[in-house]
Structure 1
Amino acid sequence: MKRQDGALLSSIEIDRTGKRAIGVQLYMVLREIILSGGLRAGERIPASRTLAREVGVSRTTVIDAVDKLVAEGMLVSRVGAGTFVSDILEQQHPGADEQRPPDPQTSKPRLSHAIDHSFASYAPRSWLPHRARAFVTALPALDAFPIAQWSRFSARHFRGDRAEIMGYGQPQGHQGLRNAIASHLNAARGIKCSPEQIFITCGAQHAFSLAGRVLLNPGDKVWYENPGATGARNALIAAGAELVPVSVDAEGINIAEARRLAPHFRLAFVTPSHQQPLGHVMSLARRLELLEAANDAQALIIEDDYDGEFHYGVSHRPPLKSIDTQGRVIYVGTFSKTLFPSLRLGFMLVPEHLTPSFDTLFASWISTPPTAVQATVADFMDEGQFAAHIRLMRRLYKTRYDALMQAGQDHLPDTIRLQETTSGFHTTALLDDRVDEIALMAQAAAAGLTIAPISRYSLSDTAEKRLVLGFGSTSPPDIENGVSALMKLPALTP
């Protein structure tokens, strides 16, 4: 049956240039017509020959689509009579007099108190970069990644033992990768540790979330750098933490202020190697002061060493974990910056006294990233490619940093002043108080630039207006062009 006005058949459109198969398209269109009530329960659909002729497809394509709908129970085939819409669907489509707009109160999903509270407090993450352009942050130099060597290591594992790479894997993470990370931390970062203290995670934010679940009760106070990293902020809020914003100066987090605000804190979150986002390196005196405060409060510290590998100053301080003698620091690292973000691969190094607790957690229900990915990274590290890549990236980022600073010195107006840094692949720029940040962001986006105001990283208002500018993923010519475009924005010449 075609319907007198031909509405059913005329509504079916096939995209013959699309990637989706014609038969799949026909099946999905028919399914949508049935679910939306375009065909009522008990109504007969056109014969396969008729439908094929009207839509312009083969009869076999129509039969395949109809057979799928019969298998799903949406259509019923009756020998000698035809194919009809299932009566079961009658209950799913109320009559017109029964339909009414949904009640906002009853239709709102019921969420846990913890997550409902978290949604209101989360820092925005929708601006995480996917493609390189001036001045994206958090994105490494993907154009310089040694993809040929990586492909060779990856192919080796997919040609190997299937049980090893396709099974569930070891709960705490691939043993080869844990061994490689421990060796690297001992040799290159000055951290004495064993592989048993290392747990592989699906990125750094996953590690922060797990630490919060193990260590925090709802309402526990956490010292948090202000401004500070957004990923850890969201993870700890979801764990029920009460984040205490603590200001940051040139030496790092202000311990005196933190003690005054929350003397009985449970956890502190810091980025001592390259403060996120201000770029300061925490002084030795401030590090010792933080460790003393944690001992006094019987608290723990999460050290996020997200880009500490990339230092290019005259000297570089080792991680906070390397001077932790009391087992107060949980060290978190990520391969998103050293290799590439889509790996979703990170790790946490926990103090020995916490190892049994995390062993239980991981063995009970945590799933680590794919074993083949972990094994590939392990080989990449064991055969020297990781260390070589880090050395290359340090030189590359220094070149791109110098390009940004020179371009800023040559072209940028006095209303924006670039700040120096000695590590990582982003820096900040001080803004004149007269500059409208919101207007500047909108103008930058229209000009093809990505800039982030310091407010995106802040739990509470900060004294200065700043922008966070990345340079790691962008070539010197593109940086030069980006600065030229930035200087022309009307908001910078109030």
Structure 2
Amino acid sequence: MKIKAGAILSSIRIDRSSDRKISVQLYMGLRDIILSGGLNGGERLPATRTLASELGVSRTTALDAVDRLVSEGLLESRIGAGTFVSHTLKDRVPSSARTAGPEPKQPLRLSPTAVQANRLFADRRQLPHKSQAFVTALPALNAFPMAQWARLSARHLRSDRDAVMGYGNSFGHPRLRAAIASHLNATRGIQCDPEQVFITGGAQQAFSVIGSMLLDRGEKVWFENPGAIGARNAFIACGADLVPVAVDDEGINVADGLAKAPDFRLAFVTPSHQQPLSRVLSLSRRLALLNAAETANAFIIEDDYDGDFYFGDQPLPTLKSIDTNGRVIYVGTFSKTLFPSLRLGYLVAPQNMADAVSGIFSAALGGVATWPQAVVADFIDEGHFATHIRTMRNHYKQQHEALHHHALGLDTSLQIQRASAGFHTVGFFNEPGRKEEAFVSAAAERGLTLSGIGRYCLEPIERKGVVIGYGAASEAEIRSGVETLNALLEQT
């Protein structure tokens, strides 16, 4: 035991420069030794005085670590005898022995839908986590009014514990549902009752709920090509047959969709600011899409992820606002208007679909955290949200203009397009031989985050280029980023 104890002590490393408490480091070191089979069930642990002396820590620190392991049941303390590894671990096979054994004879069996989905899923590991040029999907986090948010959060965290910590309404916080309905009516022209608004854990969950509710495996979904990757994966997971529908200067090409799949069950569109090409769906196309859905007895998902950030005096009407036949399911998110880690989105169901959605939410979904919903409701009701939207709309417009100002002298082999909303646009290559992936990789080596348009495509399109985000970057970063782009274009 003395030999084993010495080996145990020598394997524990205490990092005094770490932010983690020394007692926690010692606890974790001993825990790893026990769980990995370094000490077997029934074996005695070195005395706390020995642990403290050999590791150069106080005995109090050693006692804290051992007491924690005793409370977790990994150690047993016997008065007058010492501390021993729990007998419940006596017959446990060490992890090294487990991993050395033979593989199971039968391979893992997944459902056919899951097998197909895993084969078709698009990679989403490129979601941005750092604000810089030219990330997409991240709002300007440094412009968020954190002081107001903290004040409202503190108010709710000090309120009744049942409201803060208990189960909430599976449909969403009633005040937030009412606040969203009021906001949409005032700013997006959508007349809806709070009972039609359902709170989700982000837009992605909304897409999954809609897909599971409306789609049987193999049913056809019109999908913008190129189009939003997260929504694509949600419908793939539901077993949908995605139909790539071309996008041109007027948005989704309805005639192309009708030629490929007139019997579609669902259409997914981003009409206010096409993802990723930044086009706005023309009014004639909006009406054509609504007519096509009515003829096919299909539904339309309108993803209005950043429609609040339009640059003109007034945006075009939302699809939902001109839908007279209950065909449009409107989806919004606070990931762009507030911040992504909030993980709050919502869907607005047609009046005749609200009961069906209510049934799914009440039976199969537990709802999202209550207190952040209450904070967002106050943020909207007290006027902070409207002020923030106006501020960010102006900010993104300025960033958009800064991008184009600094791009005036850019090599003509990359043509950056103007956007009318949001915080990203695209740049098209004028040289047909240039490779998107190689250009994106070269940019990453120089500290720029870009995405190739091809990454968003269900099937290849003729024009190649990159998606350029400007919302999360400062003007200095935009200027430096354009200079780096120019050097890349000249060198590659």
Partner of 1:180, secondary structure, is helix
Q: What is the deviation of 1:77?
A: 4.4
1:416/1:492 contact within 8 Å kept: no
Identity %: 56
Any stretches of 5+ residues in structure 2 without a counterpart?
Answer: none
Equivalent residue for 2:394?
Answer: 395
Q: What is the deviation of 1:72?
A: 4.2
CA 1:351–1:60: 2 relative to 1, 3 Å: same
- Alpha-carbon distance in structure 2 between the residues aligned to 1:438 and 1:63: 56
1:415/1:493 contact within 8 Å kept: no
2:294/2:327 contact within 8 Å kept: yes
Any stretches of 5+ residues in structure 1 without a counterpart?
Answer: none
CA 1:248–1:371: 2 relative to 1, 3 Å: same
Deviates most, 82-91 or 181-190: 82-91
* Deviation string, structure 1 residues 381-427 (Cα, Å, up to 9, x no partner): 222222222122121111110110111112x2122110111111100
Computed over aligned residues only, the root mean square deviation of the Cα atoms, in angstroms, reads: 2.3
1:440/1:492 contact within 8 Å kept: no
Q: What is the deviation of 1:88?
A: 4.1
CA 1:13–1:396: 2 relative to 1, 3 Å: same
TM-score (norm 1): 0.93
Equivalent residue for 1:296?
Answer: 295
List structure 1 runs of 4+ shifted beyond 6 angstroms.
Answer: 94-99
Q: What is the deviation of 1:155?
A: 2.8
* Deviation string, structure 1 residues 299-344 (Cα, Å, up to 9, x no partner): 1000000111111136521111111000000000111111111111
- Alpha-carbon distance in structure 2 between the residues aligned to 1:237 and 1:96: 38
Partner of 1:317, secondary structure, is coil
CA 1:146–1:116: 2 relative to 1, 3 Å: same
Equivalent residue for 2:19?
Answer: 19
Q: What is the deviation of 1:92?
A: 2.2
Equivalent residue for 1:6?
Answer: 6
Partner of 1:91, secondary structure, is coil
> 1:394-433 alignment to 2 at 5 Å?
394-410=393-409, 412-431=410-429, 432-433=431-432
> 1:100-119 alignment to 2 at 5 Å?
100-103=100-103, 106=106, 109-119=108-118
1:332/1:349 contact within 8 Å kept: yes
Amino acid at match of 1:13: R
CA 1:144–1:81: 2 relative to 1, 3 Å: closer
Q: What is the deviation of 1:371?
A: 2.1
Q: What is the deviation of 1:161?
A: 3.5
> 1:278-293 alignment to 2 at 5 Å?
278-293=277-292
* Deviation string, structure 1 residues 70-110 (Cα, Å, up to 9, x no partner): 4444444455544444454343227999973542765x654
- Alpha-carbon distance in structure 2 between the residues aligned to 1:153 and 1:10: 50
- Alpha-carbon distance in structure 2 between the residues aligned to 1:31 and 1:267: 52
- Alpha-carbon distance in structure 2 between the residues aligned to 1:132 and 1:96: 42
CA 1:397–1:72: 2 relative to 1, 3 Å: closer
CA 1:405–1:36: 2 relative to 1, 3 Å: same
Amino acid at match of 2:22: I
Amino acid at match of 1:27: Y
Equivalent residue for 1:194?
Answer: 193
The question of 1:148 aligning with 2:147 is answered: yes
Q: What is the deviation of 1:53?
A: 1.2
2:406/2:479 contact within 8 Å kept: yes
Equivalent residue for 2:384?
Answer: 385
- Alpha-carbon distance in structure 2 between the residues aligned to 1:87 and 1:383: 59
Q: What is the deviation of 1:247?
A: 1.0
CA 1:262–1:307: 2 relative to 1, 3 Å: same
> 1:307-456 alignment to 2 at 5 Å?
307-313=306-312, 315-410=314-409, 412-431=410-429, 432-456=431-455
Amino acid at match of 2:423: F
* Deviation string, structure 1 residues 114-152 (Cα, Å, up to 9, x no partner): 233222211211111122100011111122222222223
* Deviation string, structure 1 residues 343-383 (Cα, Å, up to 9, x no partner): 11111110011000111112223233322221222222222
1:415/1:435 contact within 8 Å kept: no
Partner of 1:480, secondary structure, is helix
Partner of 1:275, secondary structure, is coil
How many residues are paired up?
Answer: 491
Equivalent residue for 2:65?
Answer: 65
The question of 1:259 aligning with 2:244 is answered: no
Equivalent residue for 1:233?
Answer: 232
Partner of 2:347, secondary structure, is strand
- Alpha-carbon distance in structure 2 between the residues aligned to 1:226 and 1:266: 17
Amino acid at match of 1:391: R
- Alpha-carbon distance in structure 2 between the residues aligned to 1:5 and 1:81: 16
Amino acid at match of 1:381: I
